[in-house]
Amino acid sequence: MEKVPESIAFFFNGEPMAGKAEKMMGEFYSDAHVLTFIGPYAPPVPPLDKEHLKGAMGNLIGSFPDLTFNFTKVEPKKMADGGWAADIIVMGTHTGAAFSPMPGMLPAIDTTSTQVKIGPETFTLYADPDGKVTKTTIEPLHPGAPAGPPGFYTEIGGVIPWSPAPDAVFHRLTKIPIKPGSIGDIVKVADSAPFQETIKTFVGFLGVEALSVDDSTMMTHSRWVSEEACTGGAQALGMVLKEHLAEFIAGPPDAPWVGPGATKLDIADNGKAAAYRVVVMKLKENTMGAVSQFATSKLPEFKAIEGLLSITAFSAGSDAAVVCAAYTSKEALEAATPKIGVIMKEMGEKYFAGPPTPFLTEVSWTTF
């Protein structure tokens, strides 16, 4: 069996970092070393070169003096790509200084004496021919689990404000009163050539679904490439209602729910969306990120629900979010209600500022 390089064995020896970080960085890590979080559950931490890693490590040790990587001393194994990997626990007790993973940007949390355990996560280290560590990857293994310095922060009570990805799709969901029994006529108009030509003129338009709520109510759920394009969507909807659908509309639309995408969970790919459970949620302050993490952590439970295809959530202001869960049929949606109710109750106890408003809808028309 190949012997573990000294530098890698030193990292994985399960001893507290306070007593070995200086030697590890000075003798065993290449100046070109880069640490990267990888995988679908990676936290929003950019790749860290050696100098930034030293800073992050020093910051953690200052607040968690017993910080230990590989707390349970798992032996690393050689991987096919040449790296040495182990699924390890990272432990630290907050007995030191107040902690912030981003000093000056996130408020520091005063000493809590809380013991934090992160993981298991797959740490993989790579060494050059001289035995110096050149690369480290960290792959969190579970959806929604705390990871990296942000994980230590949230585990001691810190809150990381949510912000959308730079390339986030923007959503516009509008509830519209229609004349009873007119949804079939609306679909015929939507299929017509003049209507199709109109929507081709919408700048930044990605697509739309028309959802039937009941005999006299529909929703439109449109997607746009940017906030600017989505803002233009108000004019686009007005044009459609005035020029193509006026004879079927029973009154002015409600104020829309508008905002950037926050979560997209692909559950199954064995059908086309025929129905949506749309839930408008009133949230406690600064909980959008936590709600997204909670939903992601429930992925195994969602995958066990027959007929559930995907879950999309978008932020609709500082204290609201909208969830659109796609199903293969209205029957599957209704059958899933008890299971979804249990998950929603758990979510609500933690993050809701008021009761959610659900809509059980069917897809009447779509561009997707």
The pLDDT of residue 244 is 94
pLDDT per position as a tens digit, 224-235: 999 999 998 888
The pLDDT of residue 207 is 95
CA 330 from centre of chain: 26
Angle made by CA atoms 229, 268, 360, in degrees to the nearest 5: 65
Give the contacts of 53 (CB within 8 A, at least 6 positions apart): 25, 33, 35
pTM for this prediction: 0.74
Domain boundaries, the chain: 6-155, 170-363
User: Could you say which of 3.40.50.620, 3.40.50.980, 3.30.70.100, 3.50.50.60 is the CATH number of the domain covering 170-363?
Assistant: 3.30.70.100
**SS3 state of residue 25:** helix
d(CA 311, CA 267): 7
Query: Is the pLDDT reported for residue 362 higher than 90?
Result: yes
Mean pLDDT of the chain: 94
pLDDT per position as a tens digit, 13-71: 999 999 999 999 999 999 999 999 998 888 878 899 999 999 999 999 999 999 999 99
The pLDDT of residue 349 is 93
Q: How far, in Å, are 32, 97, 161 from residue 111 at the CA level? A: 34, 6, 21
* CA-CA-CA-CA dihedral for 18, 23, 25, 30, to nearest 10: -160
* DSSP assignment letter at 246: G
Architecture of domain 6-155: Roll (3.10)
The pLDDT of residue 289 is 85
pLDDT per position as a tens digit, 267-277: 998 899 999 99
Query: What are the structure tokens assigned to 283, written together?
Result: 């949230």
d(CA 53, CA 135): 12
pLDDT per position as a tens digit, 111-151: 999 999 999 999 999 999 999 999 999 999 987 788 999 99
Query: Is the pLDDT reported for residue 195 higher than 80?
Result: yes
Query: Is the pLDDT reported for residue 256 higher than 90?
Result: yes
The pLDDT of residue 137 is 97
Domains 6-155 and 170-363 share a fold: no
